[in-house]
Chain A
Amino acid sequence: MSAPEPVRPDSPNLELDCRDLRCPLPIIELARHLGEVAVGETLAVVARDPAALIDVPAWARMKDQEYLGDDLTGDGVARFWVRRRS
């Protein structure tokens, strides 16, 4: 039903710990730190906020970045991946 998972490296070039931040702060952190990775590199945001599952891909679409799907951190918190495209 879902699209095939895009290929992700083993670990992101930058990981943002937003597990205790409420919507829309994880997205704000993504936007703030996008410039800290090079084009083609990845950044990921760790978030418990239930809106992140929808808002990270929506943000990537609106800002023309590539959403790479989600996985879990070692302690079981969702982590959402983005590749900087521009």
Chain B
Amino acid sequence: MSNSGRVAQTPPPVVWDAASAQALHPAAREVLLAALDAGYADPRRLHGAGRSARLLLDNAREVLAQGLGVRPDEVSLTSSGTDAVHRGLLGLLGGRARVASTVVRTAVEHSSVVHAISWAQAREVVVGVDRSGRAAPEAYAAAIAAAPAPVALVATHSANHEVGTVQPVEEVAAAIGGVPLMCNAAASAGRLPLPNGWSIATASAHKWGGPAGVGILCIRKGTRWRNPFPADDRIDERGCGFENVPSALAAAAALQATIAERKDVNTLHFRLIEKIRTRVAALPDVEVVGDPTNRLPHLLTFSCLYVDGEALVTELDRRGFGVASGSACTTSTLTPSHVLAAMGVLTHGNIRLSLPWVVPPAEGTQGPTSGIEADVERFLTELPLILGELRSRIGLA
């Protein structure tokens, strides 16, 4: 581009959007490649290739169950996390249809939960959240008591996908008596242990470095669940369609590796996010949202006054940072994030960054962590410049 003979020192772009999708874990890549050949066949068939596929599928289920702390027969594989939520929630509603049909949910559930309730035409009672995005356990109990009809299920999530706030799932379970709890754990599964107290739990493998297209539906033994969709004659009657054995096995390998590494990675992430959080909060007219400590280790969300979210995302991308936004102008519906709205926090100029999986090197050695540390420093240098530039264009710098 320039004829001066100098080479521009542009750092490689970083994608801080692990909460949308995380790059395939190296352990998953190896397994996936091997399983593409060894696990292609129909696991219901009795020939050799079929038996191999069946073996790999059973193995995947066992490893996933072990990683999530559940029984293998409680784990079903679905085509996505959204599919797992739909099957879990609607099947629980179906199982309770004779006694109850109302759903209690938080105002900050993932859209898959909101859409499933609406599709079922179920009556819902929405539990509000505080400024940090947390719904108090006693608010669920109050919602059940105030509901105009018997409550079929309570839906909460383990941690919020947009702002990182961790919900008190086990306290909620204790507060709602015998009402079944459905917990969408997609934002935390792999990084944090699955909480207890649920009848249904769901997750999505691509959030922990597995391939896309693998959802996890856990149905606790003894839960009344009825398949809400047409049956399919598969090994697991709770799922649908031809089993994706290679991806299931890769998802299991990614989970296993993630759990082995998560103590160190979570510690690193927590520290880096705390650093970014502190520095960003000190910038003028910026609101950092979500719980500062009781949160996902790798995720931070903040909003900047007078700045267009789309412009901010574009400017950051131009400078090598891929991040997400909940601002209205960045969504397909042109409405602001229902999570930010429920929290009553600023919705424009919104940025969500979620750090990629980086395993810290052993003490005293140089490793890839120095890269992410440098990225954080560069981000903290670039962000105020971008805000200053965007605000000066409108005379509000």
Residues of A within 8 A of B396 (CB): 28, 31-32
Cβ distance B339 to chain A, nearest Cβ, rounded Å: 11
Are the C-beta atoms of B329 and A54 separated by less than 8 Å?
Answer: no
Cβ distance A60 to chain B, nearest Cβ, rounded Å: 11
How far is B284's CA from A31's CA once the two chains are assembled, in angstroms?
Answer: 14
Contact with B along A25-37 (1 / 0, CB 8 A): 0011001100000
B267 within 8 A of partner (CB) = no
Contact with B along A53-77 (1 / 0, CB 8 A): 1110111001100000000000000
Of the listed residues A28, A49, A54, A62, the one surrounded by the most CB atoms of chain B closer than 10 A to its CB is: A54
How far is B329's CA from A14's CA once the two chains are assembled, in angstroms?
Answer: 27
B306 within 8 A of partner (CB) = yes
B394 within 8 A of partner (CB) = yes
Query: With A23-B327, A28-B394 given, is the CB distance from A55 to B348 under 8 Å?
Result: yes
Secondary structure class of chain B's binding surface, majority of residues: loop
B308 within 8 A of partner (CB) = yes
The tally of residues in B whose CB lies under 8 Å from a CB in A reads 24
How far is B322's CA from A7's CA once the two chains are assembled, in angstroms?
Answer: 45
Secondary structure class of chain A's binding surface, majority of residues: helix
Q: Which of A28, A32, A58, A62 contacts B347 (CB 8 A)?
A: A58
B344 within 8 A of partner (CB) = yes
Smallest Cβ-Cβ distance to B304: which chain A residue: A24
B285 within 8 A of partner (CB) = yes
Are the C-beta atoms of B348 and A27 separated by less than 8 Å?
Answer: yes
Query: With A23-B347, A59-B346 given, is the CB distance from A51 to B287 under 8 Å?
Result: no
Query: With A54-B341, A62-B305 given, is the CB distance from A23 to B328 under 8 Å?
Result: yes
A50 within 8 A of partner (CB) = yes
Query: With A24-B306, A27-B305, A28-B396 given, is the CB distance from A50 to B344 under 8 Å?
Result: no
12 additional contacts (CB under 8 A) given A22-B334, A53-B341, A58-B347? A23-B327, A23-B348, A24-B306, A27-B306, A28-B396, A31-B305, A32-B395, A50-B328, A54-B340, A55-B336, A55-B348, A57-B344
A-B contact pairs, 7 of them (CB 8 A): A23-B308, A23-B329, A24-B348, A27-B305, A32-B395, A58-B344, A58-B345
**Which residue numbers of A lie inside 8 Å of B, CB to CB?**
22-24, 27-28, 31-32, 49-51, 53-55, 57-59, 62-63
